[in-house]
Structure 1
Amino acid sequence: MTGPLEGARVLDLTQGVAGPYATKLFSDYGAEVTKIERPGRGDASRRLGPFPRDEPHIETSGMFLHLNTGKRSVTLDLATASGRDLLLRLAAEADIIVESFRPSTLERLGIGPHELAEANPAAALVRISSFGQDGPYRDFEADDMLLYAAGGVMQVTGDPEREPIKLGLYAPLFFAGCVIAGMMMGALRTSLRDGQGERVEISIHEVLTASMDRGGPNIVAYQYSGALMIERIKNVVYSGLPSGVYPCADGYVQVATQPAWFPRMCRAMGREDLIDNEHYASNVFNPDFLPEMEAIFYPWVLSHTKQEVMEIAQAEGWPVCAINTVEDAYRDPAFRARDFFRTIDHPVAGTFEYPGLPIRFKRTPGEMGVAPLLGEHTYEVLTERLGHTPQEVAILGQRGVI
């Protein structure tokens, strides 16, 4: 199926998580994304798990397969003059070029912004780095945890009596990838409108610091008063009603109960008799009353599964949600009813279901394709797009250029 970005050509020089996730979104929604990889090794994410049967293989990384759906893989050794020449010829056909090398790497190779602009003045160039293309941190090493820490966000995550903790998995980098994809759209539109390639520089450090996920508001709050809007705090009891994480028969649920929702909670628990009981109704705002209310709530919640608790509560308009494991999410009836997961058959990894498209277009829905084998499309691109003969491609392979 066609997507809203059909017709756009992306030259993808990113690796890892943030950049590839941004270009994955472009690919899933119809853009033609040509991914440049290093011969023999490929994107670093090819060496990140999970792997089928826990056996590492360059073609079966679950991380890579998810981040690179529908892309085309071309292997080029950019340390060679021929590799750089081929890259510039591909750049000449691109609408947008995205790269995430260390700052100054492209300049050192002789394929920096100046050379790319000479090859294609109309193509947008998006440059992604950890701390920016300049500044005192430019050359610092970083991963998702370090970037999360440097932006002041990790400091307010976790228990106040323990060390700060990171968010699970690669959440900061996936968030950055979403922001990058949006800015890629801006760069693409500006370049097409003006006929001159826009130049975009993205620092993941700055993306995380400016985000509304505690970073941005805390920067402003600090300037207002020297205090923070959001800090690491212990669970605070605000009323006499259950709120927060509670155990149930097969796991945990997240409960949100405002005093105005007391009747909803009572109906969900089958205790309508408490709604007009003066002793209970008059204490819903009293935090000291919580233990007495929990004495009624615990037996009920522990007698039901998390799915049951959620469905019973939500039927009464009481915001309660199951805290799902990955297995729970995979089998969640809401995802299944909406046909969220997509089955993709990979020639090496096998057939698996992948998280589907997060945004749904009606007329141009887009489609997730299979992630490429390393260098899978090199021959096709060099012969059909760049006009090389099979013999010339063979020679490039013998010389280690591709």
Structure 2
Amino acid sequence: MSQNESTTQNSSVENLLTGISVIELGDEISAAYCTKMMAYLGAEVLKIEKPSIGDSARSVGPFPDDVADIEKSALFLYLNTGKKSITLNLESSSGRKIFESLVEQADLVVENLPPGKMESLGIDYKRLSSINPSIVVTSVSDFGQTGPYKNYKATPLQHYAFGGLMYITGLPEREPLQMKPRLPEYGVAQNAFVASLTALWYKDSTGIGQHVDISTAEYSASILENGLSMYSYTGNKLGRSGNKGYGRAAWGIYPCKDGFVGVIAGPEHRWSAMAELMEEPKLAEEKYTERSGRQIYAEEIEALMEPWLMSHNKQEIFEKAQELGLAFAFVATPEDILNWEHLDNRGYLPEISHPEAGSYKYAGAAFQAVGIEAEWQRAPILGEHNDEVLSPIIENLNMRVEDLKLEETI
């Protein structure tokens, strides 16, 4: 079965989460990225979407030829590989009855609705656990399900600010900066993934379900490196260092012939390799060797580095430095990553075909289960699996599909 024919997993060896049934109820990134990883590992993920319009990620570009289409959003297609899509209006009583029937047979619900929304719909953890005592419900929100900020809303900008990441990002003499990617949402999704699997393990061991409460703000504050402990221990604040590590030369981001490279010269005993790489004997002078000297004479060192860097391309610099044991890197563009031989060799960049959007390369999973060759499957068309998943339930509940469509329940 080809990727174009199915959205479900296909593997000659049973995958790690085969047999696990997951319901995803939410919007955009955090819930979707969490369950994307589960689908890759073999779980059956039922994505519940709003009738007619679907997940709001479907309206987010880029789109092929820059023409908006809910079946061609690059963001949606990336976040929802391997899932099944069903449409269901949970604001209607019949929609909630159908949802509860799905929960009866599920292992896990992952949701990122605003705190209190599940309760107002009458489908909170208390209700769901009365239907299925072993159900695990993972709730992902901006500030958690409790606390004075629980009803506040936030964008990535706020999470970078509240979590302290913005305070340590940028040049020391300039204002704090926001990082471009929506890191808090992807990071909290990984937390939700791990926490959900842990709760499922507990469920399998005890038969008892769990309500897992995941806060994006707490994720953001957790990745400050040693920022919190530094202030707790010493009262000193971890500040912005810009592109220079600790104010030293040969530790930061520098321009080269075709872009930028990350340079870390390393400890004193590696400095001779730095001079050899740059083909500059003056760099081997003793005053530049010690780290303190690289701070004092930073401008002199960078003036000696510049001619060599500007005459070599970033890939060449990276490879030559690695040969000498220097931890350099090239600053990769999206084009570089999609054409990176190393990632391609590891199968990280699968090409997935979609009947509406066409065939494109996607980023894969940041982990591999050795010995299991699961195939990446495409994202679903809106409501593609309504007949397969909902028809038996609708019949069992003595409802009629025509009535549900007329009521805009499905």
TM-score (norm 2): 0.90
1:177 pairs with 2:179:
no
Aligned match of 2:231 in 200, 216, 222?
222
- Correspondence 1:276-287 to 2 at 5 A: 280-285=285-290, 286-287=293-294
Q: Which residue of 1 aligns with 2:354?
A: 346
The alignment partner of 2:400 has SS state of: helix
Shift of 1:316: 1.0
| Residues 236 and 264 (structure 1), Cα distance of their counterparts in 2 relative to 1, 3 Å cut | same
Shift of 1:97: 1.0
Shift of 1:225: 3.2
Q: Which residue of 1 aligns with 2:223?
A: 212
Q: Which residue of 2 aligns with 1:332?
A: 340
Distance 1:121 1:100 in 2: 21
| Residues 240 and 161 (structure 1), Cα distance of their counterparts in 2 relative to 1, 3 Å cut | closer
RMSD over aligned Cα atoms: 2.2
Q: For 1:301-325, what per-residue CA distance to the aligned partner results, in whole angstroms no more than 9, with x for missing partners?
A: 1111101111111111111111111
Shift of 1:218: 2.5
Q: Which residue of 2 aligns with 1:12?
A: 24
Shift of 1:239: 8.7
Distance 2:269 2:100 in 1: 63
Q: Give the count of matched residue pairs.
A: 394
| Residues 270 and 100 (structure 1), Cα distance of their counterparts in 2 relative to 1, 3 Å cut | same
Shift of 1:270: 4.1
1:301 pairs with 2:318:
no
Shift of 1:147: 1.9
- Correspondence 1:2-401 to 2 at 5 A: 2-209=14-221, 211-214=222-225, 217-228=226-237, 230-233=238-241, 242-258=250-266, 259-270=268-279, 280-285=285-290, 286-287=293-294, 288-384=296-392, 387=395, 392-401=400-409
Distance 1:375 1:241 in 2: 56
Distance 1:240 1:153 in 2: 22
Distance 1:246 1:155 in 2: 23
Check whether the contact 2:63–2:73 (CA below 8 A) recurs between aligned residues.
yes
Distance 1:399 1:301 in 2: 66
Distance 2:383 2:319 in 1: 48
| Residues 147 and 292 (structure 1), Cα distance of their counterparts in 2 relative to 1, 3 Å cut | closer
TM-score (norm 1): 0.92
Check whether the contact 1:10–1:97 (CA below 8 A) recurs between aligned residues.
yes
| Residues 386 and 32 (structure 1), Cα distance of their counterparts in 2 relative to 1, 3 Å cut | farther
| Residues 159 and 37 (structure 1), Cα distance of their counterparts in 2 relative to 1, 3 Å cut | same
Counterpart of 2:276, as a letter, is R
| Residues 223 and 21 (structure 1), Cα distance of their counterparts in 2 relative to 1, 3 Å cut | same
Distance 2:399 2:253 in 1: 65
Query: Which shifted more, 353-362 or 180-189?
Result: 353-362
Shift of 1:380: 0.9
The alignment partner of 1:164 has SS state of: coil
The alignment partner of 2:372 has SS state of: coil
The alignment partner of 1:165 has SS state of: coil
Query: Which shifted more, 125-134 or 384-393?
Result: 384-393
Distance 2:174 2:47 in 1: 42
Distance 1:388 1:368 in 2: 33
Shift of 1:59: 1.1
Counterpart of 2:43, as a letter, is A
Q: For 1:273-315, what per-residue CA distance to the aligned partner results, in whole angstroms no more than 9, with x for missing partners?
A: 668x6xx135312133344433432221111110111111111
Counterpart of 1:306, as a letter, is K
Q: Specify every segment of 5 or more residues in structure 1 that has no aligned partner in the other structure, as ranges.
A: none
Counterpart of 2:113, as a letter, is F
Q: Specify every segment of 5 or more residues in structure 2 that has no aligned partner in the other structure, as ranges.
A: 1-10
Check whether the contact 2:338–2:361 (CA below 8 A) recurs between aligned residues.
no
